[in-house]
Amino acid sequence: MQLSREELLQAYRRMKVIREFEERLHVEIATGQIAGFTHLYCGQEAVAVGVCEHLDASDKIVSTHRGHGHCLAKGCDVDGMMKEIYGSREGLCNGKGGSMHIADVDKGMLGANGIVGAGAPIAVGAALSLKLDGQGKVAITFSGDGACNQGTTFEAMNLAVVTKAPCIFVFENNHYSEHTGFEYAVGTNKDIASRAEAFGMKVWRADGTDFFAVYETMRDVLEYVRDGNGPAAVEFDTERFFGHFEGDPQNYRGKGELERIRAERDCLTNFRQKVADAKLLEGTVLDAIDEEVLDQIDAAVDAARAAERPQAEDVLTNVYVTY
């Protein structure tokens, strides 16, 4: 483990912010105060944070419909995101993106996306422009086990190899595509990373519920891609703690499955255990972070509830680019 104390604390705080942001949204959505569809990222925090802790704002990421965690890991403002999800004109995208279309270009977060598989081609385009810039920057696309079956993903992977684009395909295998199990929906070869390998990419695989496994793996992946070797792919095995969308009754889950994954595959518990065993961080310090994060999320919700709603004159703003 080569992370400094500050880096460890920052990683834990980021994962905890995502966790509490999502746990609280789960409650807020049930009040009916938030319009539209919401897909929670809770359970997958170690992937977003283990990837994005290596990046700065000039590296780009492209997200999915389950994008809150990617946004927060890339440094998007917590208040701005909560306001966005609440549909406020003070939100990160003036309330016009909502949960599924948050973007923050200044942070290198090129957007969440409601179309499954649409992120990969965007990331390849961004990677090509970064290649032309020649500064060793990368574009990363997050995709699910469902998106790995989409033609867009295949085309993007091929184009990335052909053009040697500095693009990284991060596959988050949470075992479900909506309500359809991965075991059913992915063909006889269950090894998602091998699909990228078939196009000629170097690939990695790791446990996505272990922050350290994600972080160490990404160090190697990024070194390879930043060195100009072309694209790469990595598959992280992970878990989603809530339904596909908020309101999903999850009848397709096995008996006791949710309880089991929360008990055995929680990346925050895993992180705490690892840093305690290695005597790197004290539990009391992490408890203090937990308290601060809860206060931060409380404040974000209060601010979002009080924030200005859209006005009629907002309808035509931010619709077209004006040159």
Ligand X SMILES: Cc1ncc(C[n+]2csc(CCOP(=O)(O)OP(=O)(O)O)c2C)c(N)n1
Residues that bind Mg ion (CB under 5 A): 144-146, 174, 176
Whichever of 151 and 256 has its CB closer to ligand X, that residue is 151
Report the nearest approach of ligand X to the CB of residue 69 (Å): 10
Q: In the complex, what is the shortest distance from the CB of residue 199 to ligand X, in angstroms, rounded to a whole number?
A: 19
Residue whose CB is less far from Mg ion, 84 or 145? 145
| Binding flag, residue 144, ligand X (CB under 6 A) | yes
Cβ neighbours around 187 below 10 Å, total: 7
Tokens, residue 112? 């969440």
Does 244 sit near ligand X (CB under 6 A)?
yes
Residue 133, CA atoms < 13 Å, CB-side half-sphere: 15
Nearest alpha-carbon partner for 21 in 63, 83, 65, 64: 83
Contact 46, 271 (CB under 8 A): yes
Please report how the helices 267-277 and 283-306 are oriented relative to each other, as an axis angle in degrees rounded to 10. 150
Please choose, out of 114-122, 214-222, 262-270, 303-311, the segment that lies near ligand X by the rule CB under 6 A: 114-122
Binding at 199: pick from Mg ion, ligand X, none (beta carbon under 5-8 Å per type): none
Of 153 and 217, nearer to ligand X (C-beta) is 153
Q: According to the binding rule CB under 6 A, does residue 116 interact with ligand X? A: yes
Figure out which of the listed residues 16, 66, 137, 265 binds ligand X, where binding follows CB under 6 A. Answer: 66
Looking at 103-111, 176-184, 228-236, 297-305, which segment touches ligand X (CB under 6 A)?
176-184
174 binds ligand X per the rule CB under 6 A: yes
The secondary structure element, H or E, covering residue 151 is helix 151-163
First-to-final CA distance of the chain: 49
Residue with smaller CB distance to ligand X, 12 or 171: 171
Residue nearest to Mg ion (CB): 144
- Shortest CB 115 distance to ligand X, Å: 5
Of 62-70, 85-93, 160-168, 198-206, which segment contacts ligand X by CB under 6 A?
A: 62-70
Q: What count of other Cβ atoms lies within 10 Å of the Cβ of residue 145?
A: 24
| Residue 133, both tokens | 């810039």
Q: 279-302 burial, b if ≥16 CB within 10 A, otherwise e?
A: eebeeeebeebeeebeebbeebbe
CB of 40 to ligand X, least distance (A): 10
Rounded Cα distance, 233 and 276, in Å = 31
Among ligand X, Mg ion, none, the one that 116 touches (CB under a kind-dependent 5 to 8 A) is ligand X
Q: Please pick, from the candidates 23, 77, 178, 290, the single residue that binds ligand X as defined by CB under 6 A.
A: 178
Q: Which whole-number Å values give the CA distances from 120 to 20, 99, 149, 209, 277, in the listed order?
A: 28, 19, 12, 23, 38
What's the closest the beta carbon of residue 315 comes to ligand X, in angstroms?
25
